[in-house]
Amino acid sequence: MNAEPFIVSDVRVTARARSRTSAFLRQACGTRTLLAALAMLTWAAAAHAATGARCTVRAGAGETVIDAILLNDTPDPKPGRVIIDAHGIIRCAGATCQPTAPHPTIISCPQDSLSPGFINPHDHIDFTGDAPLPDTGERFEHRHEWRKGLDGHTELKGADPDTSPELIAWGELRFLISGITAMVGGNMAPGLVRNMDFATGLEGLPQHAVTYQVFPLDDGPGIMRTHDCNYGNHPSTPADVAATPAFLAHVAEGTNGAARNEFRCLSSNTYDRTPQQGGGGISQDMMQPGMTILHGVGLGANDFDLLHNRGISLVWSPRSNLALYGRTVDIPAARAHGVTIALGTDWLPSGSMNMSREFACAVHYSHDHLASALSSRDLWRMATQGGAAAVHGDSVMGAIAPGHVADLVLFRPQGQTPYDAAVQSTPGTIDMVMRGGHVLYGDRKIIRRLHQPGCEKVGIDGQAKALCIRTDQRFSFATLKRDMTRRHIYPLVTTGTPPNEPPCETLEETRARLPNARLTGPE
């Protein structure tokens, strides 16, 4: 085995180029913005094309050492070191950590940002074979309007679940290469991403599987109520919440009174005390610490107070909310009330194909409608710590900390800050994705020097990458790609905006773009 470090890439900004750039920017922007602009250009230059950060890799045994800028939720992340033991657990994280193994594996990417893997607590992965639904401009006020064609609306057709193992694996790969290492999706493929809602999908994580409930009020047939709780006969109960580490439920997905009524029926023991024949019909306070609310578009300030006081998380899916309703949950109000927020992709028909695209929508919405209130650090926190809290796994995941599993991602520099590197990332700018100490995806040169078995060359967004999934599950990437191409399944990754991506826009923006479309909300 060659013990010499392997030089992956190098980027240099020459003094002459820096001087010319300074003169141009001073003339174009003025001195006040010069330093900020230079910082942005210097950071961006380090990420140019395929070069990324300068990385050295030395294969070894016993422990893995990663040197990078550690994203640890501080305002100004610093370079540091992470030591991972032979069981895939972080033993030490910080500036002074030293390995105990005599010849550990070393991955040194000092310009890269090292982040906990993203946790996606909301997807319907058995719809991963469905392309995004055509955008007619019609918007809705409740999910049953588009699910069942209620209130005079058009039923959205064309989204059909498919549980074939190959298709689920393809969907998980989409997430994996965007930095997601754990998810809740209603179905699973062995290996790849941790599936938090399946005991067989935890991949050794020391906790029980969570519960994922699409219809906690047993309202699947399309039942909408506004003044009582006469939904289905078999709603979920507080005992169901207490019996699981986390109970993730679709609640108040919509903007009208029927959407808000769902929360009333799930958060009060007094709102409706009249049972209906056959079961159900009464309100129940299910807002226990194990509860996590998916969507919550119809929630208001008083509801956020309750969520905060009870320790309940909220999962935000901005693209899907905006594409279907032209509105999304009031994130500034939820943050002001101290609610823990996670970020979820929802599903491919109206949501995002991966976390990179969900970030893109969140950034756009924050910039255009929230006066850029959400920083990259805020969004990064939602995808890491927020996701871990949503599945109540924050004692073992979601942070670079001793005792946590080594679910880690290396991002090449992007933007102006180390957090930008994560939030502005694409699968092509990711240098490594590791789950439990095992590298599953990354830069081809890095992986080649790790001498891992079961790796395949792949081209992602024009970058030379590798997938090491053959020892993790039964499908080779070549087989998956061949079969998905034959079936005309939505691609694994795209360059730029994905084809027919659901719009990340408000009702007003849709009205301006499609003035004759049928819209809900104020005229």
Residue entry with tokens 């594996």? 105
CATH number at residue 458: 2.30.40.10
The whole domain housing 424 covers 6-114+402-486
Predicted confidence (pLDDT) per residue in 353-398, tens digit:
999 999 999 999 999 999 999 999 999 999 999 999 999 999 999 9
pTM metric for this prediction? 0.90
- Determine the distance from the C-alpha atom of residue 458 to the mean position of all C-alpha atoms in its chain, rounded to a whole number: 23
Same domain, 457 and 502: no
Is the four-CA dihedral 456, 460, 465, 468 of positive or negative sign?
A: negative
Say yes or no: 306 and 454 in one domain: no
Residue 492 lies in a domain: no
In this structure, are 407 and 393 located in the same domain? no
CB 185 within 8 A of CB 202: no
Say whether both 95 and 216 belong to one domain. Answer: no
Pairing of strands 56-58, 313-316: unpaired
Domain count, the chain: 2
Q: Are residues 241 and 325 in the same domain?
A: yes
Whether residue 233 is found in the same domain as residue 355:
yes
Q: Which two tokens stand for residue 359?
A: 């970030």
CB 190 within 8 A of CB 201: yes
- The CATH number that applies at residue 170 is 3.20.20
Q: How confident is the model at residue 13 (pLDDT cuts 50, 70, 90)?
A: very low
Per-residue tokens: 461: 């967004």
User: What is the rounded radius of gyration, in angstroms, for the C-alpha atoms of the chain?
Assistant: 23
Q: Does residue 285 sit within a domain? A: yes
DSSP state of 429: G
If asked whether residues 282 and 424 sit together in one domain, one would say: no
Measured distance CA(330)–CA(308) in Å, rounded: 14
Domain co-membership, 441 together with 465: yes
Nearest to 78 by CA among 417, 405, 432: 417
Which range, of 11-25, 35-49, 198-212, 509-523, averages the lowest pLDDT?
11-25
Classify 483 as helix, strand or coil: helix
- Tell me if 450 is assigned to some domain: yes
For residues 320 and 236, state if they share a domain.
Answer: yes
Same domain as 478, residue 344: no
In a domain, 521, yes or no: no
Q: Among 25-34, 168-177, 389-398, which is the least confidently predicted range?
A: 25-34
For residues 62 and 210, state if they share a domain. no
What is the C-alpha separation between 445 and 65, in angstroms, rounded?
17
pLDDT at 516: 81
Q: Is residue 252 part of a domain?
A: yes
Residue 323 and residue 467 share a domain: no
Residue 493: inside a domain: no
Segment among 38-47, 67-76, 312-321 with least mean pLDDT: 38-47
pLDDT tier for residue 7 given thresholds of 50, 70 and 90: very low
